[in-house]
Structure 1
Amino acid sequence: MRFRTLAIGAAVSLAAGVASLGAGTAAGGTVPPSSDPPATSDVATSGKAAELPPLDPKEIAVEIQTYAKHYGVDEDEAYERLSWQRNLGAFTEAANAEFSDDFGGVWIDPADGGRIKVGVTADAVDSGLSRIAEAAQTLGIAEAVDVVPVKISFDRLAEGSTWLGSQIASLVPTPDRPVESGLATDKNTITLRFASPQLTKAEQTLVDAATAQLGEALTVSFDAQPDLVDGCVHPYCDSPLRAGIRISATGAGCTGSFIAKSKVDTKYYQFTAGHCMVQASGTSWTTRDTAGTTHTIGPEHSWNWGTGYCGGTACSSSDRAIVRVSDLPFWGTRGFVFVRTGPHTTPNTLYPIRADGFSTVNLWVCMSGGTTVPTECGSVVELNNTGTPCISGGTLCATITGRAKANYCRQSGDSGAPVFALNTAYGLHSSGSGCTAYYIGIRGSETALNVDVVFEP
């Protein structure tokens, strides 16, 4: 199949290739409108443009080195491909505005040199190309963009996956029968996963309802992995307080994430995972300096884990929290991440965060956890994911929606860790199994908890 080529001088090539058609047009029912924005508002759909300085290869060495190793390219090639990802949020917003109901999502194609694909419904490929070209040129990615036809619009996928997530919430989650769902723009489909093809009666009822509701937009698979939250010594830092350090409360150990400031006053907070508050029997969180001396960060402020566990905020089916930073003169208010060394990564104790953003399928992201060494990186494989993670040991399980699914490696103790790339905050690590991981989008977390991530200049 040949795609139309749009020439903007020699800037944008909508190249020939293989379309990502996915499962096809839904049949057997329509997706009901959601009363709330799709959960992809946490992780997926658009971004706000930011005035950012040029990327410094030394600052983003961890992304360059891990990407180069993973995809078998040299570091110059890795840097070029990663640079295309920086403005994907703003580009996605422009593409969505131009194609509207015909928009099929944006994704990165590692098999095609990391190029950026814009999906549009097949009969709308000819429309709006000049707007896409203009946006691509403005954002400096003109040479890397292709427009490809898809069958199902992003709105239908987002609404369908949100509906499916609400149906999963009706199941009683258990650690031995994980269930999850999510959308993949590169496959143009919604996937419902079980651990085994031997379904329970309730699981079969869910499959039947999803098939009737979503039709060919649905893919059912049986490769769901155990999904355990990663609450839990190893990394500590002196002041200033930063993301990627181990934090503790009585009965729990997790990872402190991005520093944030209240939207309504001058108070500062540190993000982490909501389930850490469930595990802790105390409400005051601490960390240590490099000499091993314990210092108080502050008390829990607002958090939730699923719809049944929350404090200081309305319960929702997410996994996020903020801890008050009580001693600002001691801790400071800086926007750094502690990036740790490894065989393919360069350490950076003061990695600067300069923006926040939404995630995209195949976006390369890194996670700096309180247990895992070195800082781990991988690609985003799914958006608007719903799953049923359990606290280690299976004592408590919850249904969590609006997650991004990625393939970086994680361990117990990494809960709450910062997920980031190219000086941009993307999310809060939540749970996983082995090298399958899930995180909660930072934009939705900022909105829900009424704070903004602190940026470095």
Structure 2
Amino acid sequence: MYDHARKTTLSLQWLALPVMTALLAGCLTVDQDTEPSDEDSALEGHLSPSGFSSPSSASLTETDWEVEGFARERGISYSEAQQRLGWQALAPQLDEQLRADLGDRLGGVWVDVARGDRIIVGVVREAGTDAAAVVRDAARKLGLTEGYDIVPVRRSLAEIERVNDWLGDEIEKVNDGVAATLTAGLRPDLNAVELQVPAEGRLTDAQRDLVATAKARLSDMIVASSYAGRPTARACVYPYCDSPLRGGIRITNSGTGCTGAFVAKSKVDGVLYQFTAGHCAYENYDDWSTRFTDASSHVVGPVHHWEWHKGGDMAILRIKNVAGWDPEPWVYVTSGPDTTTNTAYKITSDHVSVLGMRICTTGAYYGRSDCGYVTQLGVTATYGGVTVRKLGRGSFCGMGGDSGSPMYASHVAYGLQVAGYSECDSLYQGIRAAESALNVNVLHAAP
């Protein structure tokens, strides 16, 4: 369960690196067809029979601050914001269903801002005429009767995922022990994998060779770009709550500060735990504590299981005094530009995330809750000397100490914040993968 012999020191400050941008000359792009073929025209279309129903409608009505914040960001009415967030809430379920129903014919599912936050379903051109019917049927079963489009793509999601896996393996090798690191992640909206070099920093010969090899081997299956900052774990040296225990609170251990996330329940015996980031738990295995609002210290519990390697970055603390803590499936949402204080924000379900969707987070050190948009999935990134695979990336903000922060939207749990390239370019561990690795489920409240 633990690897006590492993020694890794987390870098907790943003560090500047020497400039290196030459490799970006001649960036790769995915070919875009300017004129659709007859087959493409038949496949692509706005599928809006009439009316919209979503199981999330009631929760969106309750969560006024999410709708209001989104409406301000987009410059749209409250009712339109509510409708768009309703579409978004169903996108992960549609993605999951179509992976099963279409298999290698699926090109991906994402949310497109340019199309008014509609759900976009990519379908491989050679998929056959029944593919659109499969998409419509899956959407209808979820209660999604409008707000999505079907577009033709050149290659399947499975194909670009295989490319992303290969590239992740290679990046893990060349990033070992270096300061400036390559990173990569899925971009289903581009039907490609995005390979990024640091805007600041000097790459090694091995890293340069990998970039050249990837360009030659993958051609238009990758797009190249740069990223600012340096991937840095967000553990470090803010809010507290009295019981019940909930997510979004500050937790500490021997000077290390992180954020406690969702309450979890064992799949085996029903024992209750609290999620946080795996790198927080490393070498901090004994009791983690928090405080009540009167500043008195209270033990949450010790690390029960942690993972921090290419398979993920997640951990759970065993809650010692369950009766005293009376844990609840809540998150302490703090006031921010698009949030209002809610000390008992209910989590009613959990799911995977999709590109382009809006997710919020509450870090115990950033000082306010913040919402952003998913910009990459399947990300390979190196921080604290460890390369982690299949992370999410988004424009939500955080800082040191926010590792473990709950990622949520419309009462759905999506992940755990773990690191960041810069203040508002952040990485998160998907909650479904964390549940699987740690053999627990997020504790849910009644809708």
TM-score, normalised with respect to structure 2: 0.85
Asked if structure 2 preserves the Cα contact closer than 8 Å seen for 1:233 and 1:370, the reply is: no
Per the alignment, do residues 62 and 369 of structure 1 end up closer, same or farther by CA in structure 2, a change over 3 Å counting? farther
Aligned residue among 416, 433, 455 for 2:404: 416
Asked if structure 2 preserves the Cα contact closer than 8 Å seen for 1:12 and 1:133, the reply is: no
Give 3-state SS (helix, strand or coil) of 1:291's partner.
coil
1:438 correspondence with 2:427: yes
Following superposition, the deviation at residue 165 of structure 1 comes to 0.8
Following superposition, the deviation at residue 237 of structure 1 comes to 0.6
Following superposition, the deviation at residue 173 of structure 1 comes to 4.2
1:239 correspondence with 2:233: no
Per the alignment, do residues 437 and 9 of structure 1 end up closer, same or farther by CA in structure 2, a change over 3 Å counting? closer
1:10 correspondence with 2:44: no
Q: Aligned partners of 1:161, 1:6: CA distance in 2, in Å?
A: 29
Following superposition, the deviation at residue 266 of structure 1 comes to 2.7
The 5 A counterparts of 1:53-132 are 54-57=57-60, 59-124=62-127, 126-132=129-135
Q: Aligned partners of 1:221, 1:53: CA distance in 2, in Å?
A: 36
1:226 correspondence with 2:262: no
Following superposition, the deviation at residue 156 of structure 1 comes to 0.6
The 5 A counterparts of 1:375-386 are 375-386=369-380
Aligned residue among 191, 214, 217 for 1:210: 214
TM-score, normalised with respect to structure 1: 0.83
Q: Which amino acid aligns with 1:209?
A: T
Q: Aligned partners of 1:90, 1:417: CA distance in 2, in Å?
A: 23
The 5 A counterparts of 1:176-187 are 176-187=179-190
Q: Aligned partners of 2:60, 2:101: CA distance in 1, in Å?
A: 33
The 5 A counterparts of 1:23-62 are 54-57=57-60, 59-62=62-65
Aligned residue among 434, 438, 443 for 1:449: 438
Q: Which amino acid aligns with 1:103?
A: L
Give 3-state SS (helix, strand or coil) of 2:376's partner.
strand
Q: Aligned partners of 1:74, 1:127: CA distance in 2, in Å?
A: 36
Tell me which protein shows more helix as a share of its residues.
2
Following superposition, the deviation at residue 345 of structure 1 comes to 1.9
Provide the residue aligned with 2:8 in structure 1. Answer: none
Asked if structure 2 preserves the Cα contact closer than 8 Å seen for 1:6 and 1:129, the reply is: no
Q: Which amino acid aligns with 2:256?
A: A
Per the alignment, do residues 92 and 344 of structure 1 end up closer, same or farther by CA in structure 2, a change over 3 Å counting? closer
Query: How many residue pairs align between the two structures?
Result: 404
Q: Which amino acid aligns with 1:452?
A: N
Following superposition, the deviation at residue 194 of structure 1 comes to 1.0
Q: Aligned partners of 1:168, 1:68: CA distance in 2, in Å?
A: 39
Provide the residue aligned with 1:201 in structure 2. Answer: 205
Following superposition, the deviation at residue 277 of structure 1 comes to 1.7
Give 3-state SS (helix, strand or coil) of 1:86's partner.
helix
Aligned residue among 143, 146, 157 for 1:154: 157
The 5 A counterparts of 1:311-390 are 316-390=310-384
Structure 2: where are the runs of 5+ without partners? 1-34
Following superposition, the deviation at residue 343 of structure 1 comes to 4.0
Following superposition, the deviation at residue 52 of structure 1 comes to 5.8
Q: Which amino acid aligns with 2:361?
A: M
Asked if structure 1 preserves the Cα contact closer than 8 Å seen for 2:365 and 2:399, the reply is: yes
Per the alignment, do residues 266 and 101 of structure 1 end up closer, same or farther by CA in structure 2, a change over 3 Å counting? closer
Q: Which amino acid aligns with 2:429?
A: I
Q: Which amino acid aligns with 2:438?
A: L
Per the alignment, do residues 264 and 202 of structure 1 end up closer, same or farther by CA in structure 2, a change over 3 Å counting? same
Q: Aligned partners of 2:256, 2:324: CA distance in 1, in Å?
A: 24
Asked if structure 2 preserves the Cα contact closer than 8 Å seen for 1:368 and 1:376, the reply is: yes
Q: Which amino acid aligns with 1:441?
A: G
Q: Aligned partners of 2:394, 2:251: CA distance in 1, in Å?
A: 24
Following superposition, the deviation at residue 59 of structure 1 comes to 3.9
Q: Which amino acid aligns with 1:385?
A: V
Per the alignment, do residues 184 and 68 of structure 1 end up closer, same or farther by CA in structure 2, a change over 3 Å counting? same
RMSD over aligned Cα atoms: 2.3
Per the alignment, do residues 230 and 120 of structure 1 end up closer, same or farther by CA in structure 2, a change over 3 Å counting? same
Provide the residue aligned with 1:189 in structure 2. Answer: 192
Asked if structure 2 preserves the Cα contact closer than 8 Å seen for 1:178 and 1:225, the reply is: no
- Once the two structures are superposed, residues 214-241 of structure 1 have per-residue CA deviations (whole angstroms, 9 ceiling, x without a partner) of 3320122233531111112910011110
Q: Aligned partners of 2:238, 2:127: CA distance in 1, in Å?
A: 53
Asked if structure 2 preserves the Cα contact closer than 8 Å seen for 1:175 and 1:389, the reply is: no
Per mean C-alpha deviation after superposition, the further-off stretch among 232-241 and 246-255 is 232-241
Following superposition, the deviation at residue 71 of structure 1 comes to 2.1
Asked if structure 2 preserves the Cα contact closer than 8 Å seen for 1:63 and 1:365, the reply is: no
Give 3-state SS (helix, strand or coil) of 1:222's partner.
strand
- Once the two structures are superposed, residues 195-217 of structure 1 have per-residue CA deviations (whole angstroms, 9 ceiling, x without a partner) of 14964211112113323443320
Provide the residue aligned with 1:171 in structure 2. Answer: 174
Provide the residue aligned with 1:277 in structure 2. Answer: 281
Q: Which amino acid aligns with 1:430?
A: V
Per the alignment, do residues 199 and 151 of structure 1 end up closer, same or farther by CA in structure 2, a change over 3 Å counting? same
Give 3-state SS (helix, strand or coil) of 2:360's partner.
strand
Q: Aligned partners of 1:351, 1:141: CA distance in 2, in Å?
A: 26
Following superposition, the deviation at residue 99 of structure 1 comes to 2.7
- Once the two structures are superposed, residues 97-133 of structure 1 have per-residue CA deviations (whole angstroms, 9 ceiling, x without a partner) of 3332121000111111111110011233633222222
Provide the residue aligned with 1:30 in structure 2. Answer: none
Per mean C-alpha deviation after superposition, the further-off stretch among 320-329 and 69-78 is 69-78
Q: Aligned partners of 1:249, 1:179: CA distance in 2, in Å?
A: 32
Structure 1: where are the runs of 5+ without partners? 14-50, 307-315, 391-396
Q: Which amino acid aligns with 1:124?
A: A
Give me the identity figure in percent: 37
Provide the residue aligned with 1:17 in structure 2. Answer: none
Provide the residue aligned with 2:302 in structure 1. Answer: 299
Following superposition, the deviation at residue 86 of structure 1 comes to 1.6
Q: Which amino acid aligns with 2:151?
A: V
